[in-house]
Amino acid sequence: MATNADSTEPLLQPKTFDEVERLVQRLYLPGSPRQIAQIQQALQNLQKSTEGWALADALLQSNDANVRFFGALTFTIKINTDS
Protein backbone atom coordinates (compact mmCIF):
# COMPACT_ATOMS: atom_id res chain seq x y z
CA MET A 1 0.00 0.00 0.00
CA ALA A 2 1.38 3.38 -0.97
CA THR A 3 1.39 6.14 1.59
CA ASN A 4 2.94 9.53 1.99
CA ALA A 5 3.59 11.92 4.85
CA ASP A 6 0.34 13.89 4.57
CA SER A 7 -1.86 10.78 4.17
CA THR A 8 -3.53 12.07 1.02
CA GLU A 9 -2.09 9.37 -1.22
CA PRO A 10 -4.93 7.08 -2.28
CA LEU A 11 -4.91 3.43 -1.45
CA LEU A 12 -3.34 1.80 -4.47
CA GLN A 13 -4.48 -1.67 -3.45
CA PRO A 14 -8.05 -1.00 -2.39
CA LYS A 15 -9.73 -3.75 -0.39
CA THR A 16 -13.25 -2.36 -0.04
CA PHE A 17 -15.77 -0.72 -2.35
CA ASP A 18 -15.39 2.57 -0.48
CA GLU A 19 -11.64 2.50 -1.09
CA VAL A 20 -12.19 1.83 -4.80
CA GLU A 21 -14.73 4.64 -4.99
CA ARG A 22 -12.26 7.06 -3.38
CA LEU A 23 -9.54 5.93 -5.77
CA VAL A 24 -11.79 6.59 -8.77
CA GLN A 25 -12.69 10.02 -7.37
CA ARG A 26 -8.99 10.77 -6.85
CA LEU A 27 -8.35 9.99 -10.52
CA TYR A 28 -10.48 13.00 -11.48
CA LEU A 29 -8.64 15.42 -9.17
CA PRO A 30 -5.47 17.33 -10.09
CA GLY A 31 -2.31 15.41 -9.35
CA SER A 32 1.17 14.69 -10.55
CA PRO A 33 1.56 12.59 -13.70
CA ARG A 34 3.24 9.88 -11.60
CA GLN A 35 0.38 9.78 -9.11
CA ILE A 36 -2.26 9.66 -11.86
CA ALA A 37 -0.38 6.85 -13.62
CA GLN A 38 -0.28 4.84 -10.36
CA ILE A 39 -4.01 5.33 -9.82
CA GLN A 40 -4.78 4.37 -13.41
CA GLN A 41 -2.67 1.22 -13.13
CA ALA A 42 -4.36 0.17 -9.87
CA LEU A 43 -7.82 0.74 -11.35
CA GLN A 44 -6.95 -1.10 -14.57
CA ASN A 45 -5.78 -4.07 -12.52
CA LEU A 46 -9.14 -4.08 -10.74
CA GLN A 47 -11.02 -3.82 -14.03
CA LYS A 48 -9.20 -6.87 -15.38
CA SER A 49 -9.63 -8.93 -12.21
CA THR A 50 -12.29 -11.56 -11.65
CA GLU A 51 -13.97 -9.11 -9.26
CA GLY A 52 -14.34 -6.59 -12.10
CA TRP A 53 -17.93 -7.61 -12.90
CA ALA A 54 -19.16 -7.13 -9.33
CA LEU A 55 -17.10 -3.98 -8.96
CA ALA A 56 -18.63 -2.46 -12.10
CA ASP A 57 -22.12 -3.21 -10.84
CA ALA A 58 -21.38 -1.65 -7.44
CA LEU A 59 -19.81 1.45 -9.00
CA LEU A 60 -22.98 2.09 -11.00
CA GLN A 61 -24.82 2.55 -7.68
CA SER A 62 -22.62 5.48 -6.61
CA ASN A 63 -23.96 9.01 -6.20
CA ASP A 64 -20.85 10.31 -8.00
CA ALA A 65 -21.24 10.60 -11.80
CA ASN A 66 -17.50 9.98 -12.37
CA VAL A 67 -17.68 6.77 -10.36
CA ARG A 68 -20.77 5.61 -12.29
CA PHE A 69 -18.96 6.37 -15.55
CA PHE A 70 -16.00 4.31 -14.39
CA GLY A 71 -18.40 1.47 -13.54
CA ALA A 72 -19.83 1.58 -17.08
CA LEU A 73 -16.31 1.70 -18.49
CA THR A 74 -15.41 -1.33 -16.38
CA PHE A 75 -18.31 -3.28 -17.91
CA THR A 76 -17.02 -2.33 -21.36
CA ILE A 77 -13.53 -3.54 -20.45
CA LYS A 78 -14.92 -6.83 -19.07
CA ILE A 79 -17.09 -7.44 -22.14
CA ASN A 80 -14.15 -6.87 -24.47
CA THR A 81 -11.54 -8.82 -22.52
CA ASP A 82 -13.43 -11.71 -20.91
CA SER A 83 -15.06 -13.06 -24.06
Question: Which percentage of the chain shows pLDDT scores above 90?
Answer: 76
Long-range residue pairs from 21-30, CB within 8 A, at least 24 positions apart, any chain: 21/59, 21/62, 21/64, 21/67, 24/59, 24/64, 24/66, 24/67, 24/70, 25/64, 25/66, 25/67, 27/66, 27/70, 28/66
- What pLDDT sits at residue 1? 37
The end-to-end CA distance of the chain, in Å, is 31
pTM confidence score: 0.79
